[in-house]
Amino acid sequence: MHKTRTPKEVLELASREGVQIVDCKFIDWPGQWQHTSFPMHELEESSFEDGFGFDGSSIRGWQAIHNSDMLIIPDPETAIIDPFCEHTTLSLICDIADPITREPYSRDPRYIAKKALKYLNLTGIADQAFFGPEAEFFILDDVRFETSQNAGYYFLDSVEGRWNTGVDEGPNLGYKPRYKEGYFPVPPTDHQHNLRSEMVIEMEKLGVVIECHHHEVATGGQAEIDMRFAPLTQMADQLLLYKYVCKNVARRAGKTVTFMPKPIFDDNGSGMHVHQSLWKGGEPIFAGNEYAGVSQECLYYIGGLIKHARAIAAFTNPTTNSYKRLVPGFEAPVNLAYSSRNRSAAVRIPMYSASPAAKRIEARWPDPSCNPYLAFTAMLMAGLDGIENKIDPGDPLDRDIYSLSPEELSGVPVMPGTLAEALDCLEENHEFLLKGDVFTEDALETWLEYKRENEVAAVARRPHPHEFELYYDV
């Protein structure tokens, strides 16, 4: 992905491949890809400037109906041939613009990410921000759910699920990972090895460089595929492509994928550890002679992440389900501390390599339900605020945080316990996000309003199935 291509070269690619359909993809406000398609003859060199019109009022969190006309502007550097379409299809990721002013749309998450990189350059601190997310997900065989006035339930199943050890599967062959012991047995206990390999092969065909794949800790088909780090906007593009490939490869095999942070009760949830580093003039600025071989700038970056983590959780952990994962006992970091090697810390400094180029930090609290453009941007802005204001992260915590007493943890800040709390934290602490006009007040207010009305309130006012277990006979 992101080869340097001109519009003319994209048209030449389409001609060579016999493209019949052009598919224009863009991200909505909560973080899902949307698309609209055109016959190939509709794509011309001028389309990469003029764009195509669409109804912005039908996209979640965007325009009012009286200002609904908007433009999608294809980015030629994102051109790929979509491997899942029956007819040869050219896929292009698009930016959003106002049709009258031709200005980029302030609520386009991809534009917000691009503004963050411009601001990074203006600070003089660095000229490139690299991100490497490790998104976890579940590969399932069956999912059913419903909520209505008189019913509410969900049902998940996987041939791998430990809960199926006693089921007559005609025959049941066993080999089902024990709860919290899915990291990482070989096949046949790892049922999904070949399917993950297929996902990797499809991604690499599309230009996404993969470093590894493996089963994750939970039973029931939990998986992880790791991409090589890339610049912020490119990596956000790639993460959406990653989800697209995983879901469509699974569907092709008669299975289904979910990136929900906590779909299975009492086993590990799906996180998205995000590796981050800053570079300037081709040199890494996080390498140095301080703790764990990092620079003072890196420590300040960590200080900014820890200081603002509770606020940016509204972007990095943006669903009510996110906070079913952020509880002690399931490897999700609740306490905001940093360390080298220690996976119970919210920020870890990986120690796999002594090379300065490999020096980075890893934020361990985010999850893959996020809008990656907004989540990566929020983390970058928090880290930059740490460097600009020399925010001291305090002393590292090199002990198992889960084993510490309440007294020992009394000075360690904790993540929000609910999405509602995270949104309140963002409302109270967001000035650092407004620097360089990266986020706007309108964008933040829209995010808060959308999440509170469409998710927090919607979940809060519905009876929960477990409430019937607890209270039906009161």
Catalytic residue check, 224: yes
Out of 82, 108, 190, 224, pick the active-site residue: 224
Out of 362, 367, 385, 455, pick the active-site residue: 362
Out of 87, 252, 341, 343, pick the active-site residue: 343
User: Residue 188, preceding bond cis, omega within 30 degrees?
Assistant: yes
**Sequence-separated (6 or more) residues with CB below 8 Å from residue 108:** 26, 27, 95, 96
Catalytic residue check, 226: no
95-115: b (≥16 Cβ within 10 Å) or e? bbbbeeeeebbbbbbbbbbbb
Tokens 């590969």, residue located: 139
The rounded distance, in Å, linking the Cα atoms of 346 and 305 is 10
Q: Could you tell me which of 299, 339, 195 has the C-alpha nearest to residue 253? A: 195
- Cβ atoms of 386 and 300 within 8 Å: the answer is yes
Q: Is 152 exposed, middle or buried (0-12, 13-18, 19+ CB in 10 A)?
A: middle
Residue 197 is given by DSSP the state H
Length of the chain: 474
Beta bridge partners, 340, equal: 349
3-state secondary structure of 30: coil
Out of 75, 108, 136, 367, pick the active-site residue: 136
Catalytic residue check, 341: no
Out of 75, 82, 108, 134, pick the active-site residue: 134
The rounded distance, in Å, linking the Cα atoms of 307 and 316 is 15
Beta bridge partners, 278, equal: 129
The bridge status of strand 338-340 relative to strand 21-27 is unpaired
Catalytic residue check, 216: yes
Catalytic residue check, 136: yes
Catalytic residue check, 110: no
**Sequence-separated (6 or more) residues with CB below 8 Å from residue 12:** none
Radius of gyration of the chain (CA): 23
3-state secondary structure of 74: strand
Q: Could you tell me which of 202, 208, 206 has the C-alpha nearest to residue 226? A: 208
Helices 109-123, 232-252: crossing angle, 10 deg rounding: 150
Amino acid at 432: F
Out of 82, 108, 190, 216, pick the active-site residue: 216
Out of 2, 162, 191, 273, pick the active-site residue: 273
**Alpha-helix residue ranges (DSSP H) falling in 274-418:** 296-316, 322-325, 372-388
Amino acid at 314: A
Supply 317's token pair: 């952990």
Out of 2, 162, 364, 430, pick the active-site residue: 364
Out of 45, 55, 266, 453, pick the active-site residue: 55
- Cβ atoms of 459 and 320 within 8 Å: the answer is yes
Catalytic residues: 55, 134, 136, 216, 224, 273, 343, 362, 364
